[in-house]
Structure 1
Amino acid sequence: MTEVFDAPQIQTIRANGLEFAYYEAGQGPLVLLLHGFPDTALCWRQVVPRLAAAGFRAVAPFLRGYAPTDLAPDGDYSLPTLGLDLLALIEHFNKGEKAYVVGHDWGAPITQYAANLRPDRFEKIVVAAVPHLRRFLLSPSGAQLKRSHYIFKFQSPFWAESRLPANDFEWVVENLIRRWSPGWNFSLGDIEPIKANFREPARLKAALSYYRSLPGLLVNPSALKVAFSAVSVPTLAIYGTEDGAIGPEMFQKQQKRYRGPFELCEATGRGHFMQYEDPEWFADRVIEFFKA
């Protein structure tokens, strides 16, 4: 049965030129938790209290463009800028100390990019549901290319901005969420924050702009070097065996993309949104890795 937590108290801070909204719990070493698409920071609401109980200060920010964090005034949602957002958040909350970071979906490449840019700011990282970007972008399996069809569709505003909101976001729920985590018995409370964020057209465009920035990354040599470099920070990668967005085969044979300690963890029977499906299991894996 899904546990119910009170709505978290949302606070705001200024970092990298934007007002970032976040919620937190606990005291101790800092753990930042980055959400992905089509989520919001509320995806961590059952993980945050578990990390707090284990002796960490768990902070879940809403990424740029996701309400109530500011929209980017210049429309910049590129990976280099997202990486700088994370470094600015670490600086604000940790004042020069190293941080632990958990990134899911888009949060995973953001975490790895920032860790490559400034490895001295990270203690350990957990990346969930997305492999190393070099593996994902340069050597996808044939099956993965089919799974990633939505990324190509998202490049077109004529399709995405009209199709996604239709019928109360039926396409998002049925063609993304349900397919990506076929075993997740989600509730209205799980899905409503996602819909609420995307009901504002500017927020939907912002989230889609993460994907629309990928072609620019591929023609930016300096950014590409950072994104494709091997990660030196100790890393735990978690993948779901039933993930309909990124297949389990994409996580194999990627050890060479990590120069530091690397562990691969299989979330058996779980899909893309593993932190919703089994928050206790997910939090336990994170805590074990961070405390080892």
Structure 2
Amino acid sequence: MSTERPAVDRLVDAGEVELALIERGEGPLVVCLHGFPDSVFSMVPLLDTLAAAGFHAVAPAMRGYAPSSLPPRRRTTPVDLARDVLAIADALGEEELMVVGHDWGAVTAHTVATLAPHRIRRIVMAAVPHTHSVITRPSLKQAWRSRYMVQFQVPDVPERIIGRDGLRWIDELVRRWSPGWRPSAEQLATIRAGLQGQGRMSAALGYYRGIPLALADADARRIVFGEVPVPALVIRGEADHCMGAERFDDLGDRFTGGVRLASIPGAGHHMHLEVPEVFADHVLAHLTAA
């Protein structure tokens, strides 16, 4: 991956935030969503592949991540993120779309499919199963892996810890979550790119701080826990040390539109960067299925 990052192609007014998009190709709309820790620039290889296959592929810097604008509130919920996706489609003049999401992007994908099922044709969720499954079927092993989510609830302290030494904490997290991957300095710099700048880390951690808010609100909980009535593909890395592979063995009953599980042997949490061609093949097979 080159150190020269592509230019942002479009800015979209999503109401509360302005979203920076990278855009490729023409055809049916596919919105590709990154997670934590990552940046919109890591989605470029997938965008190029989708564009070559005849899709209009776009990726936003998720709200708060550079170079999109900072959100107005300290906490962001999955419903906020889902509404951003719909705002992107509206700005592009598209009623229907497909969504591919990794990590927080996966949470957003199933949330927007519940929020606006009449607009979503298919979704792909990578590295994270349905939120209903994560919350209602806990395990001690996964609780230990996910302890960072509790630590992130503390105000301000995580920002100071993560921000030391040029975000070295992020590099160590990436290596821990994808233990079989040896990312280059360029790849790590690309992952960090969305988190650099005043307020960026607080915005990214605001997704985690928004979880209690979403679960406490009945309407938000109904959407985030809701059934997915569109065809879904869930992709797991078999060596994922963030969300254990065993968490995908039973995907639960939320996928009423049908779901298929794809496993990538040897891949960790950042499968879209570790084995981009394999990942793109799985995505394309789902998006083009009859």
* Shorter-chain TM-score range: over 0.9
Partner of 1:184: 181
**Mind listing any 5+ residue stretches in structure 2 that lack a counterpart?**
none
Separation in structure 2 between the aligned mates of residue 163 and residue 38 of structure 1, nearest angstrom: 15
Partner of 2:67: 68
Contact preservation (8 Å) 2:11, 2:20: yes
Letter in 2 for 1:234: P
C-alpha distance in 1 between matches for 2:87 and 2:74: 18
Query: In 2 relative to 1, CA 238–94 (structure 1 residues): closer, same or farther, beyond 3 Å?
Result: farther
From the superposition, tell whether residues 155 and 178 of structure 1 become closer, same or farther in structure 2 (CA, over 3 Å).
same
State the distance in 1 between where 2:182 and 2:285 align: 27
Q: Which runs of 4+ in 1 moved over 6 A?
A: none
Number of residue pairs the alignment of both structures matches = 288
Q: Where does residue 40 of structure 2 map in the other structure?
A: 41
Instruction: Report which stretch shifted further, 238-247 or 67-76.
Output: 67-76
CA distance in 2, matches of 1:255, 1:151: 22
> More displaced, 241-250 or 8-17?
8-17
Select which of 120, 123, 138 maps to 1:122. 120
* Unaligned residue ranges in structure 1 (runs of 5+): none
- The match for 2:168 is 170
Question: Percent identity over the alignment?
Answer: 40
Tell me: CA distance 1:91–1:165, structure 2 relative to 1, closer, same or farther (3 Å). same
Please say if residues 30 and 94 of structure 1, whose CA atoms lie closer than 8 Å, have aligned partners that are also in contact. Answer: no
2:222 maps to 1:232 = no
Aligned pairs for 1:69-88 within 5 A: 69-88=68-87
Q: For 1:97-116, list aligned pairs within 5 A.
A: 98-116=96-114
Q: Secondary structure at the match of 2:12?
A: strand
Output the aligned Cα RMSD.
1.6
Following superposition, the deviation at residue 172 of structure 1 comes to: 1.7
Equivalent residues in 2 for 1:85-100, closer than 5 Å: 85-96=84-95, 98-100=96-98
Q: State the partner residue of 2:199.
A: 202
Residue 266 of structure 2: aligned partner: 269
Q: 1:127 is paired with a residue of what secondary structure?
A: strand
Q: Residue 226 of structure 1 aligns to which amino acid in structure 2?
A: I
Query: With structure 2 as the length reference, what TM-score do the two structures score?
Result: 0.95
The Cα of 1:196 is off from its aligned counterpart by 4.0
- Tell me if the contact between 1:141 and 1:250 (Cα under 8 Å) persists in the aligned partners: no
Give the TM-score normalised by structure 1: 0.94
Match of 1:20, SS state, is strand
Shift of residue 5, structure 1, vs aligned partner:
8.8
